Structure 1
Amino acid sequence: MRLQNPIRIERSLGDTEASYFLPSRESGVNDMYLHLGFSAQPQTIRRDRVANAWAILRLKHPLLACNIEMHDYDDIRFVLMPYTSPESVLHSANENIFYRQGTKEELIDSYLNGPRTLSAQRLSCIFLSQESDRSHSRRTHPDGPVQSTQGEDWFNYDLLLCTTHFIGDGMALHQCANDFFTLLSSNRSTEELHDILKEQWQIRYGSQFSELSLPRSLEERLPQSSGRFQRAVSIVDFDLSQGRLLGGHSFSRRKGNDRRTIVPTVAFDEDHTRKALKLCKSHNVSISSALFAICNIAWARTRNDNPDLPVMMYSALNLRPFLTPDELNDSYWFIAISYFNVILPGFLPASDVEKTFWHRARFAKEQSTRAAKHRMLISRSREMAKERGVRARRWAKEDDEKASGTRIPSPPVTATVMERPPSTALIGLSLLGNLDGIYKHTSFPQIKLHTLTTGSRQRSGAMLLFGYTFVGKLWVSLGYDENGFEKGLVEQFWKNVLTSMEELLL
Structure 2
Amino acid sequence: MHLQNPICVERKLGDTEASYFLPSRESGVNDMYLHLGFTTQSRTVERDRIAHVWAILRLRHPLLASSVEMHDYHDIRFVSKAYPSPEGALQDANDNLEYRNGTKDELLDSYLNGPRTLSAKRLSCLILSHDEHRLNTSDSEDWKNYDLLICTTHYVGDGMALHQFANDFFTILSSKKENDELHELLKEEWRLRYGGQFSAICLPISLEERLPPGPAGKFYQATSRVDFMNSQDKVVGGHSFPKRSGNERKTIVPTVAFDEERTKKMLKLCKSHNVSISSAIFAICNIAWARTRNDKPHLPIMMYSALNLRPYLSPDEQNDSYWFIAISYFNIVLPGFFPSTDVAKIFWHRARSAKEQSTKIAKHRMVISRSREMAKERGDRARQWAKEDDDTARGVAKASPPLTAAVTSSAVEKPPSTALIGLSLLGNLDGMYKHAAFPQIKLHTLTTGSRQRSGAMLLFGYTFVGKLWVSLGYDENGFDKDVVDRFWANVLTSMEELLL
Paired residue total: 490
Give the AA of the match of 1:491. Answer: D
Distance (whole Å) between structure 2 residues aligned to residue 279 and residue 167 of structure 1: 37
The correspondence for 2:388, drawn from 398, 401, 426, is 398
Q: CA deviation at 1:407?
A: 3.1
Give the AA of the match of 1:438. Answer: M
Q: Deviations over 1:454-499 (max 9, x none)?
A: 0000000000000000000000000000000113111110000000
Superposed counterparts of 1:103-502, under 5 Å: 103-133=103-133, 136-140=134-138, 145-146=139-140, 153-228=142-217, 229-409=219-399, 423-502=417-496
Give the AA of the match of 1:100. Answer: R
Distance (whole Å) between structure 2 residues aligned to residue 50 and residue 211 of structure 1: 25
Distance (whole Å) between structure 2 residues aligned to residue 14 and residue 409 of structure 1: 25
Check whether the contact 2:31–2:152 (CA below 8 A) recurs between aligned residues: yes
Sequence identity, in percent?
Answer: 73
Relative distance call for 1:410 and 1:201 in structure 2 (3 A) is closer
Give the AA of the match of 2:110. Answer: S
Which sections of structure 1, spanning at least 5 residues, go unmatched? 147-151, 412-416
Distance (whole Å) between structure 1 residues aligned to residue 443 and residue 216 of structure 2: 51
Check whether the contact 2:164–2:432 (CA below 8 A) recurs between aligned residues: yes
Give the AA of the match of 1:5. Answer: N
Q: Deviations over 1:311-349 (max 9, x none)?
A: 000000000111111011000000000011100000000
Check whether the contact 2:292–2:483 (CA below 8 A) recurs between aligned residues: yes
Check whether the contact 1:248–1:422 (CA below 8 A) recurs between aligned residues: no
Distance (whole Å) between structure 2 residues aligned to residue 390 and residue 115 of structure 1: 28
Q: CA deviation at 1:214?
A: 0.2
Distance (whole Å) between structure 2 residues aligned to residue 211 and residue 126 of structure 1: 25
What SS does the corresponding residue of 2:495 show, helix, strand or coil?
A: helix
After TM superposition, the score normalised by the length of structure 2 is: 0.96
Q: CA deviation at 1:429?
A: 0.2
Q: Deviations over 1:392-443 (max 9, x none)?
A: 00000000000110131479xxxxx999797100000000000000000001
Q: CA deviation at 1:99?
A: 0.5
Give the AA of the match of 1:7. Answer: I
Q: Deviations over 1:161-207 (max 9, x none)?
A: 00000000000001111111111100010111111110010001002
Relative distance call for 1:410 and 1:448 in structure 2 (3 A) is closer
Answering whether residue 88 of structure 2 is matched by residue 99 of structure 1, we say no
What SS does the corresponding residue of 2:419 show, helix, strand or coil?
A: strand
* Deviant stretches of 4+, over 6 Å: 417-422
Give the AA of the match of 1:94. Answer: N
Distance (whole Å) between structure 2 residues aligned to residue 368 and residue 122 of structure 1: 36
Number of the residue aligned with 2:74: 74
Number of the residue aligned with 2:3: 3
Distance (whole Å) between structure 2 residues aligned to residue 291 and residue 248 of structure 1: 20
Distance (whole Å) between structure 2 residues aligned to residue 491 and residue 20 of structure 1: 30
Number of the residue aligned with 1:53: 53
Give the AA of the match of 1:44. Answer: T
Q: CA deviation at 1:139?
A: 2.5
Check whether the contact 1:127–1:160 (CA below 8 A) recurs between aligned residues: yes
Which sections of structure 2, spanning at least 5 residues, go unmatched? 402-409
Check whether the contact 1:138–1:153 (CA below 8 A) recurs between aligned residues: no
Q: CA deviation at 1:212?
A: 1.6
Give the AA of the match of 1:379. Answer: S
Give the AA of the match of 1:76. Answer: I
Give the AA of the match of 2:116. Answer: R
Number of the residue aligned with 1:149: none
Q: Deviations over 1:183-238 (max 9, x none)?
A: 11000101111111100100010024134210000000000112222222111100
Check whether the contact 2:387–2:400 (CA below 8 A) recurs between aligned residues: no
Check whether the contact 1:245–1:423 (CA below 8 A) recurs between aligned residues: yes
Check whether the contact 1:246–1:421 (CA below 8 A) recurs between aligned residues: no
Distance (whole Å) between structure 2 residues aligned to residue 410 and residue 74 of structure 1: 15
Check whether the contact 1:398–1:407 (CA below 8 A) recurs between aligned residues: no
Check whether the contact 1:39–1:157 (CA below 8 A) recurs between aligned residues: yes
Check whether the contact 1:128–1:160 (CA below 8 A) recurs between aligned residues: yes
Relative distance call for 1:30 and 1:271 in structure 2 (3 A) is same
Number of the residue aligned with 2:407: none
Give the AA of the match of 1:26. Answer: E
Distance (whole Å) between structure 2 residues aligned to residue 212 and residue 101 of structure 1: 37
